[in-house]
Amino acid sequence: MASCPACGRSIALARAVCLYCGAPLGSGQQAPAAADAPLLEAAPVLPKDRVLVLLDVAGTAPEILVRALAFSPYEAALIGRRGGLHLVRASASDAALREAERLRSLGAEPLLVPEAEVRARPLLCLAGERQATGLTLRTEQGSVTLAPGEAFLVVSGPITREYLPTSERRRIATARLEEGFRVHVHRRAADRPLEIDALNLELGFAASGSVRLEIQAWLDVVAGDAKRDSGFSRLPPVLGPAEPDPKGALSAAGSLAAGARSNTSDEHALVLDNLAQFRFYSGCLAAAERRR
């Protein structure tokens, strides 16, 4: 029995890297191998090569969740009531297949999805306008026309935004950042979803005068009977460093506003958000819906 120097977990098999965290096992940390059985070198499995094992908890009986995922009956009832997809494991394809077989033997119906498919980068929309035949959108890579019936799934959710806490911010209360709102439109004939950011979208003619209301009107026109999901709002936010603002007209206006308050401590503060979490959530839902 050896232990990983990075995460401290016990490793029963002879390995070059930790089974749990992927850290290399230094000399003296690997379990001894037989003299005539050379140690196999294993490289960490990268996200582009991993397979996700997903489980639709809404369609799984609570007693199966207890057996398959080691939940308590109370936890299984709560998760089943919440519904949605549950990430069981992210691993190499052979390990994912074994996990899927284990789940099936206990009565569950897992779904295997390549992680690279889930993490495909969305196509960010910078501007848009409603037309008689659908939507005309200007994206990072050019113009896109979205006609009614092209979307099979629309995912929307709030984006939590806040400054990285510092000792100064603990002493002096600063203004909170405005909450964001993102929409993903998953199209039948495209792998990458269209991403609409309500805070950074240049509108054409908008009868409502509100970005959020105009986006809702867009969806009513082009989404039609496409499935819609807003369950992201019920998940606890997992924050990470925010991405730079898109290179559009609204981002230029934001830069001018930032320059006007250059004497404040907020100018160079690191902003955190849960956009990466939203994109992963949306990608999992789209992958599952495509397979249905």
Question: Any idea where the domains of the chain sit in the sequence?
Answer: 1-43, 47-118, 123-291
- The predicted pLDDT at position 133 comes to 78
Residue burial 202-224, b: 16+ Cβ < 10 Å; e: rest: bbeebeeeebeebbeebbebbbe
What are the φ and ψ backbone dihedral angles of 253, each rounded to 5 degrees?
-65, -40
Helices (H) and strands (E) in the chain, counts: 8, 16
- The predicted pLDDT at position 28 comes to 45
Rounded to an integer, what is the distance from CA 180 to the centroid of its chain?
Answer: 15
- The predicted pLDDT at position 7 comes to 52
- Would you give the DSSP letter of residue 235? S
- The predicted pLDDT at position 286 comes to 97
- The predicted pLDDT at position 81 comes to 86
Tokens read off for 199: 């805070």
Query: Mutual orientation of helices 73-82 and 62-69 as an angle, nearest 10°?
Result: 120
- The predicted pLDDT at position 167 comes to 65
pTM above 0.95, yes or no: no
Rounded Cα distance between 112 and 54, Å, is 6
- The predicted pLDDT at position 173 comes to 53
Q: In the chain, which stretches have pLDDT less than 70? A: 1-43, 167-175, 205-209, 247-268
Which CATH number is correct for 47-118, 3.90.660, 2.60.40, 3.30.1390, 1.10.10? Answer: 3.30.1390
Length of the chain equals 292
Beta-carbon contacts of 56 under 8 Å, excluding residues fewer than 6 positions away, are 84, 85, 86, 109, 111, 288
What radius of gyration, in Å, describes the C-alpha atoms of the chain? 23
Q: Are 156 and 193 in contact (CB under 8 A)?
A: no
Closest listed residue to residue 112, CA positions, set 55, 68, 53, 60: 53
- The predicted pLDDT at position 130 comes to 83
DSSP H/E element including 202: strand 202-203
